[in-house]
């Protein structure tokens, strides 16, 4: 049942009577159905909905505010618990005393916090509610703009109770799938840290030591980092000997040995002088960042080895490895987007909306605009964009699709999102059927249906 939803059943309904509850004008009238036969079920039209306890949880670092209500009951439970095992046991005891053995549905904003993880570990029904929806409900409950933790808990509880049919519980993968998805997430975090440090290093070198960038432009290579540790300033490079220069390249497997002499001659050219203070500060900054980068690169290599070893043991591995352009990095990342719980997604459009490849439509009167979906899983969108871009190199229809999108005036990003959405329809069916991608079979089916390979960007809900 939703706010302002369908008209409730008549008063002489065999199972329920109607009680009109006063509510804020921001919400509209609310109908509560009081069950004569106890807390067995509530009825919306002709569809029975099992009774349950809606538990709204607003979390902070030290405590959680709780509001719980059972459908068809006037009982309301409010309490605050500590963020530890004793507090969690207090919650379960209070729910048992107030509502007995009724099923419970927990509404939280972030299921990744300690209480959310604990509930999921116990097998409880945990629902992740969009924080924007909580804000809108809170504003409807308190027109003055009041905000506090108990009010947020009340908003979560009401959203869970009145919109239960529109929400889906958090569905976890198998332990093996969950572990791999966590490793992929950690790898993405390490790559982001590496890129941030590379940007810092580049900016620092531009300020006092541009010659280093002229000699070694790819700063994430082991040889580049070894150079910066050996010659961290213009004066150190000027005082370098040919023996120390050759020693730098020894054992580095440099792919262009003939260029070593060219680089040496280039390092002898005059450099822009900087003050001793700027050079000293730059050297300390560069060496600190370089040592951190070396640790990150070592961790990244270890993560890649573990991901590869665990991914090949999963039943879904061959499905994602069969995709053109996926390779050893993107195949596990694509698996992390879908998971191995087949109940997690019911339609490819759900994946497209969650990952942000599907646009949104804003329409009012004669105004209509299709815009990029910004509130989404950004890591999933990044993975799908990377895969769409890589697929152009080894898949002819994907390359033609992208080129046609560009000819139609789409930007590079929009064309990639449209291609990613096209791939999602294929990926979803492969994932559901646990089958492998066969391009010849795919093109044949398209020809039989006379379905165009060139898509047009359309709005999505």
Cβ neighbour number for residue 46 with a 10 Å cutoff: 6
pLDDT of residue 441: 86
pLDDT of residue 79: 95
pLDDT of residue 451: 55
What is the Cα–Cα distance from 154 to 159, expressed in whole angstroms?
9
pLDDT of residue 341: 93
What is the Cα–Cα distance from 44 to 61, expressed in whole angstroms?
38
| pLDDT tens-digit profile, the chain (461 residues) | 333 333 334 333 333 332 323 333 333 333 333 332 333 344 444 445 568 999 999 999 999 999 999 988 888 999 999 999 999 999 999 999 999 999 999 999 999 999 999 999 999 999 999 999 999 999 999 988 889 999 999 999 999 999 888 888 999 999 999 999 999 999 999 999 999 999 999 999 999 999 999 999 999 999 999 999 999 999 999 999 999 999 998 878 787 888 999 999 999 999 999 999 999 999 999 999 999 999 999 999 999 999 999 999 999 999 999 999 998 899 999 999 999 999 999 999 999 999 998 889 999 989 999 888 888 899 999 999 999 999 999 999 999 999 999 999 999 999 999 999 999 999 999 999 999 999 888 888 878 776 555 544 444 44
Cβ neighbour number for residue 397 with a 10 Å cutoff: 18
The number of helices, as runs of H, and strands, as runs of E, in the chain is 18, 11
Under CATH, which number does the domain 178-310 receive?
1.10.287.4070
Domain ranges for the chain? 16-166, 178-310, 327-449
* Tokens 């000997």, located at residue: 241
pLDDT of residue 49: 56
Structure tokens that stand for 375 in this block: 């509130």
pLDDT of residue 452: 56
What is the Cα–Cα distance from 190 to 411, expressed in whole angstroms?
29
* 16-166 maps to CATH 3.40.630: no
Assign 329 to helix, strand or coil: helix
pLDDT of residue 38: 36
**In which element (H, E) is residue 108 found?**
strand 104-108
Q: Report the relative pairing of strands 104-108 and 125-128 from DSSP bridges.
A: parallel
Residue 303 has what DSSP assignment?
Answer: H
């Amino acid at each position: 049942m939703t706010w302002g939803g369908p008209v409730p059943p008549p008063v002489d309904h065999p199972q329920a009577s109607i009680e009109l509850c006063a509510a804020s004008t921001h919400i509209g009238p609310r109908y509560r159905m009081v069950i004569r036969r106890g807390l067995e079920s509530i009825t919306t039209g002709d569809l029975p909905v099992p009774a349950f306890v809606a538990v709204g949880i607003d979390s902070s670092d030290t405590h959680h505010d709780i509001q719980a209500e059972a459908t068809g009951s006037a009982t309301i439970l409010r309490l605050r618990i500590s963020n530890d095992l004793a507090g969690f046991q207090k919650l379960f005891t209070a729910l048992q005393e107030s509502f007995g053995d009724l099923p419970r549905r927990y509404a939280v904003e972030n299921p990744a916090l300690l209480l959310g993880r604990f509930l999921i570990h116990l097998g409880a029904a945990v629902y992740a509610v969009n924080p924007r929806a909580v804000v809108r409900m809170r504003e409807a409950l308190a027109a003055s703009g009041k905000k506090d933790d108990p009010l947020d808990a009340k908003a979560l509880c009401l959203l869970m109770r009145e919109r239960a049919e529109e929400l889906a519980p958090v569905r976890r993968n198998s332990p093996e799938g969950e572990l791999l998805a966590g490793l992929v997430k950690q790898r993405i975090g390490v790559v982001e840290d590496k890129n941030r440090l590379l940007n810092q290093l580049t900016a620092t070198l531009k300020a006092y030591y541009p010659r280093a960038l002229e000699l070694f432009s790819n700063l994430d290579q082991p040889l580049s980092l070894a150079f910066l540790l050996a010659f961290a300033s213009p004066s150190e490079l000027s005082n370098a000997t040919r023996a120390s220069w050759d020693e730098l390249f020894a054992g580095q497997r440099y792919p262009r040995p003939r260029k070593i002499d060219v680089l040496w001659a280039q390092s002898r050219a005059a450099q822009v002088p900087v003050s001793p203070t700027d050079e000293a500060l730059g050297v300390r900054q560069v060496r600190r960042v370089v040592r951190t980068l070396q640790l990150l690169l070592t961790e990244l290599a270890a993560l890649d080895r573990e991901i590869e070893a665990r991914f090949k043991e999963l039943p879904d591995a061959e499905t994602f490895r069969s995709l053109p352009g996926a390779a050893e990095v993107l195949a596990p990342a694509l698996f992390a987007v879908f998971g191995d719980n087949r109940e997690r997604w019911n339609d490819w459009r759900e994946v497209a909306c969650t990952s942000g490849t599907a646009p949104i439509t804003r329409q009012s009167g004669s105004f209509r605009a299709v815009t990029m979906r910004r509130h989404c899983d950004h890591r999933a969108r990044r993975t799908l964009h990377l895969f769409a871009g890589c697929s152009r190199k080894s898949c002819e229809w994907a390359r033609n699709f992208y080129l046609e999108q560009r000819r139609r005036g789409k930007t590079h990003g929009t064309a990639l999102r449209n291609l990613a959405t096209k791939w999602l329809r294929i990926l979803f069916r492969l994932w559901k059927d646990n089958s492998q991608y066969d391009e010849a079979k795919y093109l044949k089916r398209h020809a039989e249906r006379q379905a165009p390979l060139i898509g047009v960007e359309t709005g999505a809900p």
